[in-house]
A and B are shown apart, each in its own frame.
Chain A
Amino acid sequence: MINKHPLYTPDMLSAEDRARLDKLLEKFEYEADRFLGYPCTRDFDFSPLFPFMFYPLNNVGDPFEDTTFRLNTHDIECEVLEYFREYTEAPKNGFWGYMTNGGTEGNMYGIYLARELHPNGVVYYSEDTHYSVAKILRLLHARNIMIRSLPNGEIDYEDLKETLRIHRDVPPIIFANIGTTMKGAVDNLDKIKAVLNDLAIRDYYIHADAALSGMILPFVKDPQPWNFRSGVDSVSISGHKMIGSPIPCGVVIAKKANVERIARSVEYIGTLDTTLTGSRNAITPLFLWYAIRAQGWEGFRKIILRCFKTADYAITKFKQAGIDAWRNNNSITVVFPRPGPQIMKKWQLAVHGNHAHIITMPHVEERHINAILQDLIDDMKKGNVA
């Protein structure tokens, strides 16, 4: 199994280089216990998959199509996609998708698909949308209008309606946040569809950015409308966030009929590969497949319940200490006033304006909450809390 003639061996590195790697590992071990602000879990162990690292695997092309390059994990990828089809309630024989290198690629695919279907369309997205979407809109030359957000981070439906009313002659492409980056807010698809219906707009496209919440909402009792059953045309979900992976990854799921329509329009390039990239990661499908097979539906449900419990613990403790902490429904993002820079740095907190958040991912425990709370209390005594 192990390559007997590798081009690179540890003895080829200088002592200095080896020491550098050791130091880097030590740093990661230290920092990994102190990141509370970013939505990635560190609770995984994929070491049983290590032997796969000895092969030049590549998932180039459409995972559902045959390929002459056989060192791929397309079958595994398709199984992962089938799980996400179930999670997102996409039609069983009417979906298509592929594994991306993260949520942004999935969002780019969704907007690309929408723009191909509606070349004159205007993309509407809220103020609380992840900054990467602005880059995507620029890359795709997609016309776009930002809509106000409500204080809890949802799109302002009234502002959306008034803006759509002006541009009702061109198809809207709604970029819906299913869990905003800073506040975990879910744009209400029923309200958005009601706005479209009130304005008699029939031709539209909805893409859902469900980077984190796409692996939360399938497992809660009372999910907000967010998936294909609620009218989305495509959805992007990260793999490295809630499931966890040492390599960033994600999935994008879209309606097959839409994908086939744009496949016809790209025939001139001589391929039906409608994935955005060429070479694609073949290891990350193994990670997600392994995790999903090991945990199963019930396993993820329990993990997510634990995350909610930690979030509520944080809110209770913060409030007891006089810190105004809150979370949106079905969100594990705990929002609180922006602390001083030292706390932000120590706990790797994401901040925006006067707000900061901690995200109670599976690796976050009550001991972490207690520790950051103590730092916040000390910081407040110095007058550093916004």
Chain B
Amino acid sequence: MKQITIISPNRPGVMADISETLAQAGININHIDAETFNESAIIIMNVDNYDRALYELQKFPDLKAVSEDAIVIRIENKPGALAQISTRFKNANINIRSIRFLERDEDYGLVAISTERTEEAMQLVNDVLVA
């Protein structure tokens, strides 16, 4: 079962919108979980049609859907915070494909990281791992 992480504005009805859109596309949600992150919501779901679900989620301009190829972490919003995380990967000899901010507020940032070895990467950042 593959996982999709969605970063969305913390607006009323967002879960219902997502569920309805996926249902209309014939996609079953096997598991869904959500938590708030200041003005954002982090929604983690498992679906039975992963590729189609990612395609359908593109219809929401205010959502960022992260595929299982990337891990999502939460870091402090200060210069050098991401560099500290990068150091862990460098020391573990794990090449980073890409790092990008998904959301950032005054205190924290949500960051998607794609590496060549996802499982090991998750272990490395377990203390700040969101999904």
Decide whether A and B assemble into one complex: yes
Name the contact of A162 in the complex, choosing from B80, B95, B98, B100 (C-beta under 8 A).
B80
Name the contact of B104 in the complex, choosing from A127, A134, A144, A165 (C-beta under 8 A).
A127
B11 CB–A CB distance under 8 Å: no
A143 CB–B CB distance under 8 Å: yes
B27 CB–A CB distance under 8 Å: no
> Bound state CA distance, A277 and B101, in angstroms?
31
How far, in Å, is A32 (CB) from chain B's closest CB?
24
Interface size class of B (residues with CB under 8 A): 10 to 19
Q: Is the interface of B mostly helix, strand, loop or mixed?
A: mixed
- Whether the pair B97, A148 counts as a contact (CB closer than 8 A) is no
Name the contact of B82 in the complex, choosing from A122, A134, A144, A163 (C-beta under 8 A).
A163
How far, in Å, is B88 (CB) from chain A's closest CB?
10
A137 CB–B CB distance under 8 Å: yes
Q: Is the interface of A mostly helix, strand, loop or mixed?
A: mixed
> Bound state CA distance, A353 and B95, in angstroms?
31
- Whether the pair B79, A162 counts as a contact (CB closer than 8 A) is yes
A12 CB–B CB distance under 8 Å: no
Cβ–Cβ < 8 Å partners of B14 in chain A: none
> Bound state CA distance, A158 and B96, in angstroms?
21
Mask: chain A, 138-166; 1 = CB below 8 Å from B; 0 = not: 00000111111000000010110011011
Which residue on chain B has the smallest CB distance to residue A126?
Answer: B101
Which residue on chain B has the smallest CB distance to residue A134?
Answer: B100
- Whether the pair B98, A137 counts as a contact (CB closer than 8 A) is yes
A148-B79, A163-B86 given; name 15 further pairs at CB < 8 Å. Answer: A122-B96, A127-B104, A137-B98, A143-B95, A144-B98, A146-B99, A146-B101, A148-B82, A148-B104, A156-B79, A158-B79, A158-B80, A159-B83, A166-B86, A166-B90
Chain B residues proximal to chain A, CB less than 8 Å? 77, 79-83, 86-87, 90, 95-101, 104, 109
Q: Which 5 A-B pairs have the closest CB atoms?
A: A162-B80, A162-B83, A158-B79, A159-B79, A146-B100
